[in-house]
Amino acid sequence: MGKTIVVASGKGGTGKTMFTANLGAMLAKKGSRVVLIDMDTGLRNLDLYLGLENNVVYDVNDVLSGMCRIKQALIKHKTFEGLFFMAASPKPDEGEITPLHMKVLCNKLKESFDYVIIDAPAGIEDGLIIALGGADKVILTITPEFAAIRDCEVMSNHIKALGIDNIHYVLNKVDLEMMNAGYAPSVDEIPGTIKSGLIGIIQYDKNVRISTNMGVPIVCMENTYIHKNFSNICDRVVNL
Ligand SMILES: Nc1ncnc2c1ncn2[C@@H]1O[C@H](COP(=O)(O)OP(=O)(O)O)[C@@H](O)[C@H]1O
Ligand SMILES: [Mg+2]
């Protein structure tokens, strides 16, 4: 039986979609069967970051509303054996989809996948509650900004109140020069509750931007520090 991991954040732009794409690709590289689901309805990007935007026929709302079968909405990645993708609906949800629908879908997928990884919308809106419907674990992406850290604490408490305690954090877009100059919070300034749950630190690197623009996960770049970093983060996720 697989596990469902929801990637969420308080603010947009913290790297949820980048992290989802690369975690999925790295897990698949290491031999797992992985399905990535874009639940950022209306503001979807995951298809672009995976280079699969031209392959989408059915989306997750088609599956949840019974318009098509699960298999019809699963898109196999071109490069990574074992990596599949289910697209978000381009239209905002009209209230027909509930967290229970999501739980049923995740449970079904967990029968044949090791990991179901969900790219959630930013913030604490209804879309997040639906995305969390089948969650076993949550990873929150944060950037080194006091506002992002505060929002992350609020998110964490909100998610815990829903009964999900397995929450971990990834600090993304770290600029060491800014940190060392005191212009961005250092790791020591991150509250203990978040710091103790950190499973990865990812530097700001323009190659990440290039990779999301090109639709090629950065973990395709073998023998780079970022590949090694994602490999380590991936091993920590496996042991969560
Ligand atoms: N570590 C990083 N270094 C440089 N750019 C990054 C990094 N992580 C994400 N980005 C860029 O930041 C932007 C927002 O990332 P994205 O994953 O779409 O955020 P979110 O899904 O949380 O809104 C994208 O252009 C992406 O390429
Ligand atoms: Mg996103």
Ligand 1 site, residue 20, Cβ cutoff 6 A: no
State which H helix or E strand residue 166 sits in: none
User: Which residue minimizes the CA distance to atom 23 of ligand 1?
Assistant: 13
Domain at 3-238, CATH class: alpha beta
Task: Name the band, by pLDDT with cuts 50, 70 and 90, for residue 120.
Answer: very high
Give the distance (Å) from ligand 1 centre to CA of residue 12.
Answer: 9
Ligand 1 site, residue 202, Cβ cutoff 6 A: yes
Ligand 1 site, residue 155, Cβ cutoff 6 A: no
Tell me, what's the pLDDT at 46? 97
Give the distance (Å) from ligand 2 centre to CA of residue 218.
Answer: 16
Q: Which atom of ligand 1 has the smallest separation from the CA of 18?
A: 17
Q: Which atom of ligand 1 has the smallest separation from the CA of 209?
A: 27
- Tell me: the pLDDT tens digits for 171-203? 999 999 999 999 999 888 899 999 999 999 999
User: Which residue minimizes the CA distance to atom 26 of ligand 1?
Assistant: 209
Tell me, what's the pLDDT at 50? 98
The average pLDDT across 208-216 equals: 96
User: What are the residue ranges spanned by the domains of the chain?
Assistant: 3-238
- Give the mean pLDDT of the chain: 95
Give the distance (Å) from ligand 1 centre to CA of residue 65.
Answer: 31
**What's the burial of 36, exposed, middle or buried (CB within 10 Å: 0-12/13-18/19+)?**
buried
Ligand 1 site, residue 208, Cβ cutoff 6 A: yes
Give the distance (Å) from ligand 2 centre to CA of residue 1.
Answer: 27
Q: DSSP string spanning 184-231? A: S--GGGS-HHHHTTEEEEEE--HHHHHHHHHT--GGGSTTSHHHHHHH
User: Is the per-residue pLDDT at 94 higher than 90?
Assistant: no
Diameter over CA atoms, the chain = 54
With a CB cutoff of 8 Å and minimum separation 6, the contacts of 98 are: 130, 133
Q: Which ligand is nearest to the CA of 226?
A: 1
**What's the burial of 234, exposed, middle or buried (CB within 10 Å: 0-12/13-18/19+)?**
buried
- Tell me: the pLDDT tens digits for 135-145? 999 999 999 99
- Tell me: the pLDDT tens digits for 146-174? 999 999 999 999 999 999 999 999 999 99
- For 165, other C-beta atoms within 10 Å of its C-beta total 9
Ligand 1 site, residue 105, Cβ cutoff 6 A: no
Compare 124 and 86 and report the one with higher pLDDT: 86
User: Which residue minimizes the CA distance to atom 27 of ligand 1?
Assistant: 209
pTM: 0.97
How far out from the chain centre does Cα 158 lie?
18
